[in-house]
C-alpha cells in the first residue's frame, strides 16, 4: 500500500522534521516496514558545500563477529576516498552505528564522488545535496526520527514515505525517498507500481546511471533528474513522465526550491491536497495533514493526469 | 545491539492493539438528541459510542464534533436516525449503512458511502475517489467535487455531485442514477450495464458502451424532484447518458450457438 507525504512552506523555515514525523506516524498503517524522509534545510550560502548521507549496513544486517570492525574499516575508507577525490573540510556526524552524515567542500563531479564511495562494500550514498538530506531506516516514523534526531531539523520543505514492502526486500535500499543519483538535491517518494520498470532501468543504465535497489520507484527519481539535466523544468519533466512511465502511480518530487506531485491517468493511488498562503501539504490520507493543521480545512484529491508544482 | 529485524517493525497501527470495543460513554444525552466530541477518541471508540446511542439509548439525532478526518466513521448503522459530523471524515466513512440520514459538515475521503443500502448522506465539501461505490439505494449528495470512479458498480440509488468528477465515473454501473453538475473526466460510464448518468458540464470522453440517451418527461420530473428535495435551485441543462448495450455481455447467444452462427 505505502503512504506518501509532502510539505512546503512559502514563508521561510519551520520544524519540518517534527512535522513530517507526525504526518508519517499517522499513516503507519499504510506501511510499517520502513520510513524515510527527504528534508531540505536552509540553502547553503557557501558555494560548493554539500551534505552526504551514507549507510554502511542495514538495521537487519547480520551482526557477525567482524561486523563492527568492518564498519570501522569501511568508514575509514570513505574518509580516505573523499580526500582522494578532492573533498575538503569534511565534518562527520554519526547517526547510527552504520549510518552517518558528512558535510564537505567539493567542486568536482558528484557522480565520480558517489561512485567512489559506493565502491566500498556495503556502502550506499543515500543523498548528496546542498540542502537535501535523506534519512531512511526500518521501523516507523517515530523510531527513525528518534534515532536520527529529526525533531530538531528545521527547513523549508520535505517529503516522506511509509513503506509496505511488496515487490522487494525490507531493507534500507528498498525504502523511500530515492535520491536522484548522481544529481544534487532531487528526491522522490512514490506510491504505486511501474510496469515498464526494466525498460527504463536498462535505458538509464545505458546512460551511465546506477541503481542501488530493485525498487521501481528509484527509476522515477533518476528519470526526472535526467530530464532536468537536459534542460526541462521540474513541471515539464513530470508531465513527460506521465507519457513515458507506465503503471499506476502517484509520486512527489522535490528539488532544492520546489515540490511537485504527479498522478497517473488511472488515478488509482490516493493523494489529498491542502493549499494555504503559507503552506502546501499533501498526503495519501487527510489524517496526516491534520497532524500539522489541527483544524477543519478544505482539501481535495487532484485528478488523473494532474501535475502540480509549488515553489518555496 | 539490535538482532536481525528485532522489534523495529510493529503492527499496532493496524488496530490490533485496541481490542477494547466498549463504548466510552462520553455523550451528553438530551431526550432523543446526543452530542459527543471525537477529538480524543479512536475510530473504534467513536463508532462504539455512536452505536450505543442509536441502538441502546434510543437516541435518534446524534452530533459528533471533531471527527478529525478519521477513517471508517459512521459505518454499519442499520436504523433510521440522524447523524451530523461537525467536520471531515477520512476513508470509508458512512459505508454499509441502511436507513440513517447523515450530514457531513466537511469533506470525506475515499470510498465514502460504499455499499449503502438506504438513507441519505449529504457532504458539504469535496469527496475522494470511489464515492458511493456499489450503493444499492438511498441518496448521496456531494456539494463539492469528487475523485475518480464515483459510483463504480452502483446497483441503485442516486448520486448527486454539485462539482466535477474524475475519470471512470459510473464504471460498471448496473442501476440507479447519477447527476453530475460539473465536468467529468475520461471514461464516463465505461462498461455500464444499466442506469442513467446526467452531466451538466463537459465530458472529457465517454467510456466503452456509454452513449447519449433520449431525454423524457420522466427525466425532467426526476431531476426537478431531487433538486427540490436537496435545495439545489433550478436544474441546469443536462446531458443524459445510458448503456448502449453493445458489449459482448449483451450477446444473448450461448457460446455454442455463437459458433454455429459464425
Query: pLDDT of B145-199, one tens digit each?
Result: 999 999 999 999 999 999 999 999 999 999 999 999 999 999 999 999 999 999 9
Q: Are residues A68 and A31 part of one domain? A: no
The CATH number covering residue A210 comes to 3.60.20.10
Q: Given a cut of 80, is residue A174 above it in pLDDT?
A: yes
* Chain A residue nearest residue B128, CA to CA: A301
pLDDT band at B257 (very low <50, low <70, confident <90, very high): confident
The CATH number covering residue A120 comes to 3.30.70.1150
* Chain A residue nearest residue B110, CA to CA: A270
**Which residues are CB-neighbours of A80 under 8 A, at least 6 positions away?**
none
Reading across the β-sheet that carries A3-9, which strands appear in turn? Answer: A132-138, A34-40, A157-163, A3-9, A279-283, A272-275
**Residue at a domain's end among A102, A130, A158:** A130
**If DSSP codes are grouped into helix, strand and coil, which group holds residue A168?**
coil
- Nearest to residue B152, comparing CAs of B108, B201, B190, B97? B190
* Chain A residue nearest residue B163, CA to CA: A300
**pTM of the shown model:** 0.92
What is the dihedral angle through the alpha carbons of A285, A289, A295, A296, rounded to the nearest 10 degrees? -40
Please give the Cα distance from B217 to B200 (Å, whole number): 17
- What does the pLDDT read at residue B246? 86
Contacts A–B by Cβ distance under 8 A: 102
Q: Are residues A306 and A159 part of one domain? A: yes
Residue B240 lies in a domain: yes
Please give the Cα distance from B28 to B34 (Å, whole number): 5
Q: Are residues A139 and A90 part of one domain? A: no
Which residue matches cell numbers 509549488? A310
Q: Are residues A299 and A177 part of one domain? A: yes
- What does the pLDDT read at residue A194? 94
Residue B159 lies in a domain: yes
**Residue at a domain's end among A89, A105, A130:** A130
pLDDT band at A212 (very low <50, low <70, confident <90, very high): confident
pLDDT band at B259 (very low <50, low <70, confident <90, very high): confident
- What does the pLDDT read at residue B12? 52
Please give the Cα distance from B218 to B212 (Å, whole number): 16
In chain A, the number of structural domains is 2
- Nearest to residue A125, comparing CAs of A140, A110, A146, A145? A110
User: What is chain B's alpha carbon radius of gyration, rounded to the nearest angstrom?
Assistant: 21
Q: Given a cut of 80, is residue B253 above it in pLDDT?
A: no
Q: In Å, how far is B167's CA from the nearest CA of chain A?
A: 7
Kindly provide the residue ranges of all beta strands, DSSP E only, lying in chain B, ordered along the sequence.
28-30, 33-37, 61-65, 82-86, 98-104, 118-123, 139-142, 155-161, 175-180, 184-188, 196-199, 203-206, 210-212, 239-243
Q: Are residues A216 and A89 part of one domain? A: no
**Which residues on chain A place their C-beta less than 8 Å from a C-beta of chain B?**
28-29, 32-34, 59-60, 62-63, 137-140, 143, 170, 265-268, 270, 272, 285-287, 289-290, 296-301, 303-304
Q: In Å, how far is B107's CA from the nearest CA of chain A?
A: 7
Residue B8 lies in a domain: no
pLDDT band at A220 (very low <50, low <70, confident <90, very high): very high
pLDDT band at B256 (very low <50, low <70, confident <90, very high): confident
Residue A2 annotated in active site = yes
Task: Confirm if B126 and B163 have CB atoms less than 8 A apart.
Answer: yes
- What does the pLDDT read at residue B17? 58
Within 8 A of A300 by CB-CB distance, chain B residues are: 107, 126, 144-145
For B32-49, the pLDDT digits (tens) are 999 999 999 989 899 999
Q: Are residues A197 and A292 part of one domain? A: yes
Please give the Cα distance from A4 to A282 (Å, whole number): 8
Residue B171 lies in a domain: yes
pLDDT band at A294 (very low <50, low <70, confident <90, very high): confident
Span A212-224, average pLDDT: 91
Q: Given a cut of 80, is residue B5 above it in pLDDT?
A: no
pLDDT band at B11 (very low <50, low <70, confident <90, very high): very low
Residue B101 lies in a domain: no
Interface predicted TM-score (ipTM) of this complex, two decimals: 0.88
pLDDT band at A165 (very low <50, low <70, confident <90, very high): confident
Span B208-226, average pLDDT: 97
The pLDDT mean for chain B works out to 92
CB within 8 Å: B90 and A299: no
Q: Are residues A125 and A34 part of one domain? A: no
Which residue matches cell numbers 451528553? B28
Please give the Cα distance from B141 to B116 (Å, whole number): 13
Give the range of the structural domain holding residue A266, as residue numbers without chain letter. Answer: 3-43+131-311
CB within 8 Å: A138 and B8: yes
Q: Are residues A292 and A281 part of one domain? A: yes
Q: In Å, how far is B149's CA from the nearest CA of chain A?
A: 9
Residue B68 contacts A where some CB pair is shorter than 8 Å:
yes
pLDDT band at B7 (very low <50, low <70, confident <90, very high): very low
Of B109, B126, B167, the CB nearest to A304: B167
In chain B, the number of structural domains is 1
How close are the terminal C-alpha atoms of chain B, in Å?
Answer: 72
Residue B127 lies in a domain: no
Please give the Cα distance from B11 to B29 (Å, whole number): 36
Residue B186 contacts A where some CB pair is shorter than 8 Å:
yes
Q: Are residues A136 and A98 part of one domain? A: no
Span A43-60, average pLDDT: 85
Task: Confirm if A202 and A149 have CB atoms less than 8 A apart.
Answer: no
Mutate to test the interface with A, among B1, B7, B9, B64 (most CBs of A within 10 A): B9
For A14-50, the pLDDT digits (tens) are 999 999 999 999 999 898 889 999 999 987 766 679 9
Please give the Cα distance from B193 to B220 (Å, whole number): 22
Within 8 A of B11 by CB-CB distance, chain A residues are: 32
Q: Given a cut of 60, is residue B14 above it in pLDDT?
A: no
CB within 8 Å: A140 and B110: no
Cell of A150: 529529526
Residue B226 lies in a domain: yes
Please give the Cα distance from A264 to A176 (Å, whole number): 19
For A253-287, the pLDDT digits (tens) are 999 999 999 999 989 999 999 999 999 999 999 99
Task: Confirm if A102 and A83 have CB atoms less than 8 A apart.
Answer: no
Q: Are residues A154 and A76 part of one domain? A: no
CB within 8 Å: B10 and A285: no
Please give the Cα distance from A176 to B185 (Å, whole number): 31
CA A221, A222, A223, A228 torsion-angle sign: positive
pLDDT band at B262 (very low <50, low <70, confident <90, very high): low
CB within 8 Å: B13 and A140: yes
- Nearest to residue A103, comparing CAs of A92, A114, A116? A92
**Residue at a domain's end among A130, A146, A173:** A130
Span B25-30, average pLDDT: 98
Q: Are residues A137 and A71 part of one domain? A: no
CB within 8 Å: A267 and B167: yes
CB within 8 Å: A138 and B9: yes
Residue B192 lies in a domain: yes
Of A60, A138, A299, the CB nearest to B126: A299
Cα separation values, A82 from A49, A76, A110, A183, Å: 13, 10, 11, 17
Give the range of the structural domain holding residue B177, as residue numbers without chain letter. Answer: 154-262
Task: Confirm if B212 and B193 have CB atoms less than 8 A apart.
Answer: no
Q: Are residues A251 and A306 part of one domain? A: yes
Amino acid at each position: 500500500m505505502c503512504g506518501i507525504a509532502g510539505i512546503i512552506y512559502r514563508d521561510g523555515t519551520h520544524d519540518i522534521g517534527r512535522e513530517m514525523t507526525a504526518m508519517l506516524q499517522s499513516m503507519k498503517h499504510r506501511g510499517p516496514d520502513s520510513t524515510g524522509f527527504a528534508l531540505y534545510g536552509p540553502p547553503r550560502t557557501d558555494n560548493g558545500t554539500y551534505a552526504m548521507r551514507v549507510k554502511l549496513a542495514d538495521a537487519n544486517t547480520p551482526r557477525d563477529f567482524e561486523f563492527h570492525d568492518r564498519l570501522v574499516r569501511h568508514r575509514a575508507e570513505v574518509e580516505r576516498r573523499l580526500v582522494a577525490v578532492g573533498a575538503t573540510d569534511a565534518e562527520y556526524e554519526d547517526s547510527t552505528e552504520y549510518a552517518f552524515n558528512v558535510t564537505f567542500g567539493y567542486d568536482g563531479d558528484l557522480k565520480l564522488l558517489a561512485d567512489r564511495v559506493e565502491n566500498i562494500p556495503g556502502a550506499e550514498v543515500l543523498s548528496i545535496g546542498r540542502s537535501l538530506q535523506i534519512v531512511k531506516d526500518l521501523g516507523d516514523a517515530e523510531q527513525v526520527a528518534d534515532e536520527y534526531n529529526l525533531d530538531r531539523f528545521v527547513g523549508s520543505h520535505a517529503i516522506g514515505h511509509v513503506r509496505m514492502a511488496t515487490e522487494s526486500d525490507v531493507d534500507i535500499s528498498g525504502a523511500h525517498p530515492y535520491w536522484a543519483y548522481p544529481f544534487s538535491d532531487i528526491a522522490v517518494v512514490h506510491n504505486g507500481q511501474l510496469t515498464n520498470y526494466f525498460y527504463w532501468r536498462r535505458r538509464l543504465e545505458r546512460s551511465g546511471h546506477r541503481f542501488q535497489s530493485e525498487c521501481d520507484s528509484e527509476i522515477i527519481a533518476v528519470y526526472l533528474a535526467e530530464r532536468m539535466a537536459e534542460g526541462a523544468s521540474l513541471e515539464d519533466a513530470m508531465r513527460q513522465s506521465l507519457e513515458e512511465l507506465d503503471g499506476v502511480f502517484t509520486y512527489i518530487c522535490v528539488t532544492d526550491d520546489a515540490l511537485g506531485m504527479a498522478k497517473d491517468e488511472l488515478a488509482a493511488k490516493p493523494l489529498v491536497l491542502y493549499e494555504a498562503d503559507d503552506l502546501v501539504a499533501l498526503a495519501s490520507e487527510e489524517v496526516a495533514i491534520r497532524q500539522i493543521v489541527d483544524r477543519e480545512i478544505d482539501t481535495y484529491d487532484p485528478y488523473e493526469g494532474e501535475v502540480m508544482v509549488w515553489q518555496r | 545491539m539490535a538482532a536481525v529485524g528485532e522489534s523495529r517493525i510493529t503492527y499496532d497501527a493496524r488496530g490490533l492493539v485496541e481490542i477494547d470495543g466498549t463504548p466510552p460513554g462520553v455523550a451528553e444525552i438530551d431526550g432523543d438528541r446526543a452530542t459527543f466530541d471525537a477529538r480524543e477518541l479512536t475510530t473504534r471508540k467513536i463508532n462504539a459510542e455512536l452505536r450505543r446511542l442509536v441502538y441502546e439509548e434510543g437516541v435518534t439525532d446524534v452530533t459528533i464534533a471533531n471527527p478529525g478526518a478519521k477513517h471508517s466513521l459512521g459505518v454499519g448503522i442499520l436504523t433510521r436516525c440522524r447523524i451530523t459530523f461537525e467536520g471531515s471524515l477520512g476513508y470509508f466513512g458512512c459505508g454499509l449503512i441502511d436507513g440513517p440520514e447523515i450530514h457531513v459538515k466537511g469533506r470525506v475521503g475515499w470510498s465514502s458511502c460504499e455499499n449503502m443500502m438506504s438513507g441519505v448522506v449529504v457532504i458539504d465539501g469535496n469527496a475522494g475517489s470511489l464515492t458511493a461505490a456499489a450503493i444499492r439505494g438511498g441518496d448521496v449528495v456531494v456539494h463539492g467535487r469528487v475523485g475518480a470512479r464515483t459510483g463504480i458498480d452502483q446497483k441503485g440509488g442516486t448520486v448527486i455531485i454539485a462539482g466535477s468528477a474524475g475519470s471512470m465515473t459510473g464504471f460498471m454501473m448496473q442501476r440507479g442514477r447519477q447527476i453530475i453538475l460539473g465536468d467529468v473526466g475520461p471514461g464516463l460510464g465505461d462498461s455500464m450495464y444499466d442506469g442513467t448518468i446526467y452531466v451538466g458540464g463537459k465530458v472529457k470522453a465517454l467510456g466503452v458502451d456509454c452513449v447519449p440517451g433520449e431525454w423524457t418527461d420522466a427525466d425532467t420530473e426526476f431531476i426537478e424532484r431531487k433538486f427540490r428535495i436537496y435545495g439545489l435551485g433550478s436544474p441546469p441543462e443536462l446531458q443524459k447518458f445510458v448503456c448502449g448495450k453493445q458489449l459482448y455481455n449483451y450477446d444473448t447467444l450461448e457460446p455454442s450457438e455463437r459458433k454455429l452462427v459464425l
